Each structure stands twice: as structure tokens, then as C-alpha cells.
Amino acid sequence: MSSTVHSFRTPDGVTLGVEHFGDAAAPLVLLAGGTTMLSWPDALCEALARGGRHVVRYDLRDSGASTTVAPEAPAYTLRDLAADAAALARGLDDRPVHLAGIGVGGMVAQVAALDHPDAFSALTLAGTRPVAPGPVDDDLPDHDAATMDRCFALPMPDWSDRAAVAEFAAASAEILGNDPAAARATAERIFDRTPGTEPAVQLANQMGMVFSRLDCKPRWRERLPELAMPTLVVHGRRNMFFPVGNGEALAREIPGARLLVLEQAATAIPDAAADEVATAMLAL
């Protein structure tokens, strides 16, 4: 299925790299994880478009084709990223749209739905948790320590070397339980579509985003019962980064939410699960 790529400029002057699938009237916005829009696999985007949605996936700030700033001068928060999602949704349609977030993007999606409820009609949260990066609540399972130790033991690649970056992504994916070949191919695509910016700069920004910029105050977990839109929570049983108990907590605390556990998935949505996830999302 063909897609089109362009830029969207928010009222605050932020440029977002955006890709469209399908020509249906009903938009479905896919909010990226900690890397780029490619955290949402092509197979899922195409399945959703075949199901009658105008699928729009986009890069968060500091990734892909979106606005990149100096890593030494962070100037935005999780709530600013949530406002970006709402601005894009309103720019696509006068009606509320379905919003989906994966990983760290799932945290942004929760805040977007709470802070801008008029912009969204449904919510999908994939592989995420109900609190910001950093220390977790006592009742939530934290990152698997052994898995994180193995990830952090990997030597950093030369971020200007495409092949080295791809091999690093594949090695990380294998530790996390994802498909190394798919991760390698995605890393190559991310490298190739990062215009005019050193990948190392974006990496620094993404690390800063995860560990400081996304410190969202006030907390939003206690507000989850306010969500009054159909919600799907998707979580991989093998996710050692955000273990499945995080998805279970989201499904308990959001009224009427449905939990879909992918038994063979980790942090990424595998192509083999694309049709199952698309069917669940389209049912909202």
C-alpha cells in the first residue's frame, strides 16, 4: 500500500514529520515510541487503512523528520508532546479522532487524552505504563533488572556508521525479546530518513526526553478514571522493559478498557500480530 509523507506545523511552530496511509475519512493518529514513527510497523498501518481508517503516524519532537533542538537545552515537557498530538488531530479533522501511543508514546497519549478530551474519540495504549519515566509506583512491575543490565552492557556504536547503528539495534532487540532482523531493518530506515541531523544528537535528545523531559507533573495516573472514551490496552507478554503488569493496571484503572495480551510479543508489535491488533483497534 502506498503512503504519503509531509510536514505538519503546529500552532506553536513545531514541525512534525507525518506519514499518511489510506484515503478514508476517519483519521487514526499513531503517536511514536521513543524512536520514530517507525515504532508503528508498516503491516499494522496497512491493516488499519484496509479497515477503513486514514492512518497517520508521526515522529515525536527530536526524532526522524520532526523538530530537533540542542540536547543541552531541553525546552519542552511531556505535556508539550501531548499538545502536539492534539494539534495534529485537530488539523486532520473537525471531529475527535482515535489516538494510539506505543511505549513512551503511550504515556504521551494518556496525557493527551486527559488534557485534550475534545480532540480524541478513542484511545489505544501499547506496551506502556501509567506513570512517567523514572521510579515506579510500588504496585507496578519495574524494568527487568537482568534484561536492563544486558542492554546497558552493550558497547555504544559509532552513531555516524549506519551498519554499526543497525547491528546495535539488532543486538538490543534480541536482548529485549524482539525480532533482531526487523529491528536492524527499522534502524537502517530511521538512519536514512533523519534529515540534516546527526543521529547522535537525536539519541542524546531521546535519552534526555526519557529521563528528564517526560517528568510529568502533576501525575496523571490518579486521573485515569476520568477517561470516558473507548480504550484498548495492548501489551506483550514477553515485555521485560514495561512488564505486563503495567498494561493490566491501565486496563483496571481506565473505565471499560479492554486488555489484549500478545503472548509472543515483547516491546514491539510483530508483523504476525498486525491483523489481530488492527481488528481490536478497529472495534473501538
Q: What is the pLDDT of residues 119-173, one digit of tens each?
A: 999 999 999 999 987 788 999 999 999 999 999 999 988 878 889 989 999 999 9
What pTM value is reported for the model?
0.93
Amino acid type, 256: G
Question: What domains can be seen in the chain, in order of their start residue?
Answer: 3-141+197-282 (3.40.50.1820)
Question: 213 near 104, Cβ under 8 Å?
Answer: no
CA distance 58 to 105: 11
- The helix or strand, by DSSP H or E, that contains position 264, with its residue range, turns out to be none
- DSSP-based three-state secondary structure for 158: coil
List of residues 6+ apart from 257 with CB closer than 8 A: 231, 232, 233, 250, 251
Strand order in the sheet with 15-21: 3-9, 15-21, 54-58, 27-31, 97-102, 120-126, 231-236, 258-262
Cell of 150: 544486558
How confident is the prediction along the chain (284 residues), in pLDDT tens digits per residue?
A: 668 877 888 898 888 989 999 988 889 999 988 668 999 999 999 999 999 999 999 988 877 778 777 655 667 788 889 999 999 999 999 999 999 999 989 999 999 999 999 999 999 999 999 998 778 899 999 999 999 999 999 998 887 888 998 999 999 999 999 999 999 999 898 888 875 555 555 554 454 454 445 557 789 999 999 999 999 999 999 999 999 999 999 999 999 999 999 999 999 999 999 999 999 999 99
Cell of residue 141, nine digits: 512491575
Question: Minimal CA–CA distance to 233: which of 137, 113, 127?
Answer: 127
